[in-house]
């Protein structure tokens, strides 16, 4: 604003919404005014005003603040004044709050006592190397942690055979019930619909070759070889693996794991072993059940949509599954899947931090890791079977 | 503290020698040495973040020290082999801040588990002992309750019953009065005093609740976060009046005017 337009004002002086600024020799005088409320957005617009004042009065030595024209104020005024104080300190100018009311001065003194250093986000080579080293260290720790967990599980498993394990039979039975019997409804639904869907999809293709009866071969082989084990594993990962992670993570959060240790009770033997063994035993059984239910799904389509007789469909299925290896291979896979889900769920649960956010991360991570490992291990099994001419 | 004022005991139930504790590269405490006499209550005091809970973790076998020994009846907790270590662990009980009861078990099962694990008693006898321990802390009739059905004070008492399950020589308490109303806290203090007198149990209590400290402590140690060491030792009432450290006197008298935050 020029002197010509407002002859009473000197260069750099202003009369804004939030403050009036006057020059007084080598000092500036800010008179805060108006209604200062957090909800009113005072800090943002006042900061813009203040930036204009500061940039056009760089020659001044110090700035004096008073609040004689203020109507009301809350913490937004303190935040603004603290901002002014820091900006003035950064540019080597004085901040004089003597004209402010005692209450404001006291709050200003409290908020400015100790300020944490700003964490640098600027890139530097050292920071990059440190970041890389930290990442490498974490990766090493994770691998080491996994190896220790696996070794501890194996030793607990071996102790079971020589009768020195702290695992209770009732915990194993309870784990079997939770992992197995309680999962029957969801496994029934998923596997029946999987068989049904495969039959519908396959029938469209097979009809082109007038080979619709081979739908029984397609459904039965796909179920026992692949889909039964895979669908059960995915259901178990989302249902039981996540439950293990949540349960053990919550126990860690409440110091229940620590209290077990202080009684000389190994969490590995007492908590992890029954859960993983329960899953190891139940997953193949559920897979076998899922195979049967999936085939029944195919049978439903075959008899109700394609007009085959039950006996015809059954004979075709039986001829497709003449070699029991197809069934066994699915069961071998399911054993590996069960172990993976149990170990990952327990490992993630025991490894979660002592806050609720890390518990949530542990549960999510257990499901994602289990499903990823299941798909990878499934592929490895198929490659191995193929190389060994077992397909 | 002056040398002539240091208490020495003929048969310390717990002796801590030159203990250094750290989390990775961060040193928490260094060169901590003290001992606890039979049938007394030692309170570990100090401001927030001074390492009280960390020290407790090392004493109960949860955090290995970087250096030093934790001797329970002259047996070193941290250098003992598996069998010996399990035997040492049986000699003490721990009451965690929130009780840390196993949430999937009833109160009776919580108290029974240590007995089932470490004794050859038949199940009926284990049940009777567990019921007796629960009645000792005033929880008779609550045997079939789950931890989630109890109030904070009841959880702590149930935790105490579980900690006493194996008739330990020492009981470690982490902030017993945290989260309790003054009356419940006072009742817990009375219970500690009663158990100390009637059963001769030694207590090591981590606390910064002054009213509770004055009520239960026979002896105390004061940890300092600045020096990361044991700053002073003595009877709390004596420390409040005669400590050579202003910080200790300020803490003991709840006087913020002479102490820097």
Q: pLDDT digits over B159-190, tens only?
A: 989 999 998 989 999 988 887 888 888 888 99
Any A CB within 8 A of B9 CB: no
Same domain, yes or no, for A103 and A156? no
- Is B118–A251 a contact, with Cβ atoms under 8 angstroms apart? no
Domains identified in chain A, total number? 2
Q: Minimal CA–CA distance to B220: which of B229, B228, B231, A223?
A: B231
Q: Write down the mean pLDDT value for chain B.
A: 87
Any A CB within 8 A of B73 CB: no
Residue A69, pLDDT score: 79
Same domain, yes or no, for B53 and B109? no
Of B134, B167, B200, the one marking the end of a domain is B167
Q: Collect all residues with Cβ–Cβ distance below 8 Å to A174 and sequence separation of at least 6.
A: A274, A278
Which residue would you say has higher pLDDT here, A165 or A199? A199
Average pLDDT, stretch A92-97? 89
Residue B185 placed within a domain: yes
Residue A267 has pLDDT above 60, yes or no: yes
Q: Is the ipTM of this complex over 0.90?
A: no
Average pLDDT, stretch A248-252? 94
Sign of the alpha-carbon torsion through A170, A176, A178, A182: negative
Of A58, A88, A111, the one marking the end of a domain is A111
Average pLDDT, stretch A114-133? 67
pLDDT, one tens digit per residue, over A299-309 is 999 999 988 99
Look up the domain containing B158 and give its range: 101-167
Q: Minimal CA–CA distance to A242: which of A279, A269, A273?
A: A279
CA angle B119, B123, B124 (to 5 degrees): 125
Q: How confident is the model at residue A314 (pLDDT cuts 50, 70, 90)?
A: very high
Q: How confident is the model at residue A3 (pLDDT cuts 50, 70, 90)?
A: very low
Average pLDDT, stretch A127-155? 87
> First-to-last CA distance in chain A?
87
Same domain, yes or no, for B137 and B184? no
CA atoms within 13 Å, Cβ hemisphere of B129: 21
pLDDT, one tens digit per residue, over B30-82 is 999 999 988 899 999 988 888 999 999 999 999 999 999 999 888 899 988 88
Average pLDDT, stretch A243-264? 93
Q: How confident is the model at residue A70 (pLDDT cuts 50, 70, 90)?
A: confident
pLDDT, one tens digit per residue, over B235-250 is 999 999 888 888 888 8
Residue B148 has pLDDT above 90, yes or no: yes
- Is B113–A255 a contact, with Cβ atoms under 8 angstroms apart? no
Residue B2 placed within a domain: no
Which residue would you say has higher pLDDT here, B90 or A175? A175
What is the C-alpha separation between B226 and B221, in angstroms, rounded? 15
Same domain, yes or no, for B119 and B160? yes
Look up the domain containing A74 and give its range: 14-111
Any A CB within 8 A of B173 CB: no
The A-side interface with B (CB below 8 A) comprises: 166, 250-251, 254-256, 258-265
- Per-residue buried b or exposed e for B199-223, using 16+ beta carbons within 10 Å of the residue's own CB: eebbbbbbbbbeebbbbbbbbbbbb
Residue A59, pLDDT score: 87
Q: How confident is the model at residue A8 (pLDDT cuts 50, 70, 90)?
A: low
Residue A123, pLDDT score: 63
Which residue would you say has higher pLDDT here, B136 or B131? B131
Residues written for chain A = 391
- Is B114–A259 a contact, with Cβ atoms under 8 angstroms apart? no
Residue A114, pLDDT score: 55
A291 contacts A324 by C-beta, under 8 angstroms: no
The CATH number covering residue B203 comes to 3.40.50.300
Residue A1, pLDDT score: 41
B interface test, pick of A259, A265, A267, A353 with most B CB neighbours within 10 Å: A259
Of B167, B188, B219, the one marking the end of a domain is B167
Q: Write down the mean pLDDT value for chain A.
A: 89
The CATH number covering residue A41 comes to 3.30.750.24
- pLDDT above 70 as % of chain B: 94
pLDDT, one tens digit per residue, over A340-362 is 999 999 999 999 988 889 999 99
- pLDDT above 90 as % of chain A: 54
Same domain, yes or no, for A311 and A372? yes
Same domain, yes or no, for A168 and A65? no
Residue B96 placed within a domain: no
A320 contacts A220 by C-beta, under 8 angstroms: yes
Of A78, A111, A144, the one marking the end of a domain is A111
Residue B4 placed within a domain: no
- Is A256–B102 a contact, with Cβ atoms under 8 angstroms apart? yes
Q: How confident is the model at residue A18 (pLDDT cuts 50, 70, 90)?
A: confident
Same domain, yes or no, for B173 and B151? no
Residue B3, pLDDT score: 42
- pLDDT above 70 as % of chain A: 94
Residue A283 placed within a domain: yes
pLDDT, one tens digit per residue, over B192-223 is 898 888 888 899 999 888 889 999 999 999 99
């Amino acid at each position: 604003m020029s002197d010509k337009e407002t002859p009473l004002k000197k260069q750099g002086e202003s009369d804004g919404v939030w403050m009036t600024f006057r020059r007084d020799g080598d000092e500036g005088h800010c008179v805060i005014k108006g209604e200062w409320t957090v909800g009113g957005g005072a800090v943002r617009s006042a900061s813009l005003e203040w930036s204009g004042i500061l940039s056009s009065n760089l020659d001044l030595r110090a700035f004096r603040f008073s609040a004689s024209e203020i109507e009301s104020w809350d913490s937004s005024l303190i935040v603004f004044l603290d901002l002014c104080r820091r900006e003035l300190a950064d540019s080597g100018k004085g901040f004089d709050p003597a004209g402010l009311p005692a209450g404001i001065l006291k709050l200003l003194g409290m908020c400015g006592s100790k300020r944490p250093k700003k964490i640098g986000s600027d890139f530097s080579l050292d920071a990059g190397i440190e970041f890389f080293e930290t990442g490498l260290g974490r990766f090493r720790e994770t691998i080491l942690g996994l190896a220790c967990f696996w070794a501890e599980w194996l030793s607990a498993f071996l102790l079971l055979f020589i009768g020195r394990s702290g695992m209770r039979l009732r915990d194993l039975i309870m784990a079997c019930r939770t992992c197995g019997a309680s999962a029957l409804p969801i496994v029934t639904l998923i596997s029946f619909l999987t068989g049904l869907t495969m039959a519908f999809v396959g029938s469209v293709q097979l009809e082109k070759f007038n080979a619709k009866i081979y739908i029984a071969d397609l459904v039965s082989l796909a179920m026992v070889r692949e889909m039964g084990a895979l669908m059960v594993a995915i259901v178990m990962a989302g249902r039981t693996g996540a439950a293990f992670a949540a349960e053990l993570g919550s126990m860690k959060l409440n110091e229940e794991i620590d209290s077990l240790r202080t009684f000389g009770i190994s969490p590995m033997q007492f908590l992890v072993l029954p859960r993983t063994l329960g899953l190891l035993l139940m997953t193949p059984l559920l897979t076998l059940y899922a195979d049967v239910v999936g085939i029944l799904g195919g049978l439903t389509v075959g008899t109700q949509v394609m007009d085959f007789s039950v006996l015809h469909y059954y004979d075709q299925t039986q001829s497709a599954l003449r070699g029991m290896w197809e069934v066994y291979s699915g069961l071998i896979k399911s054993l590996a899947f069960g172990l993976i889900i149990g170990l990952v769920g327990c490992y993630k649960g025991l490894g979660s931090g002592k806050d609720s956010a890390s518990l949530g991360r542990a549960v999510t991570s257990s499901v994602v890791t289990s499903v990823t490992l299941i798909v990878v291990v499934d592929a490895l099994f198929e490659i191995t079977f193929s190389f060994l001419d077992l397909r | 503290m002056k040398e002539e004022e240091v208490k020495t005991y003929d048969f310390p139930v717990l002796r801590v020698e030159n203990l250094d504790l750290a989390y990775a590269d961060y040193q928490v405490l260094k060169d901590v040495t003290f001992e606890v006499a039979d049938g007394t209550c030692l309170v570990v005091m100090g401001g927030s973040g001074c390492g009280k809970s960390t020290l407790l973790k090392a004493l109960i076998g949860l955090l290995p020290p970087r250096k030093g020994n934790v001797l329970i009846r002259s047996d070193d907790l941290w250098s003992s082999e598996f069998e010996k270590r399990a035997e040492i662990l049986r000699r003490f009980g721990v009451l965690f801040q929130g009780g840390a009861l196993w949430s999937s078990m009833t109160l009776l099962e919580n108290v029974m588990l240590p007995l089932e694990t470490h004794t050859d008693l038949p199940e009926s006898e284990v049940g009777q002992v567990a019921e007796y321990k629960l009645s000792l802390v005033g929880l008779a009739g609550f045997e079939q309750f789950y931890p989630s059905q109890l109030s904070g004070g009841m959880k702590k008492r149930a935790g105490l019953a579980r900690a006493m399950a194996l008739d330990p020589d020492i009981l470690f308490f982490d902030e017993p009065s945290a989260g309790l109303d003054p009356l419940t806290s006072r009742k817990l203090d009375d219970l500690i005093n009663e158990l100390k007198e009637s059963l001769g149990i030694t207590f090591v209590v981590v606390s910064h609740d002054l009213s509770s400290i004055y009520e239960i402590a026979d002896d105390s140690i004061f940890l300092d976060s600045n020096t990361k060491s044991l700053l002073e030792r003595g009877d709390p009432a004596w420390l409040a009046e005669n400590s050579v450290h202003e910080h200790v006197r300020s803490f003991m008298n709840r006087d913020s005017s002479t102490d820097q935050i």
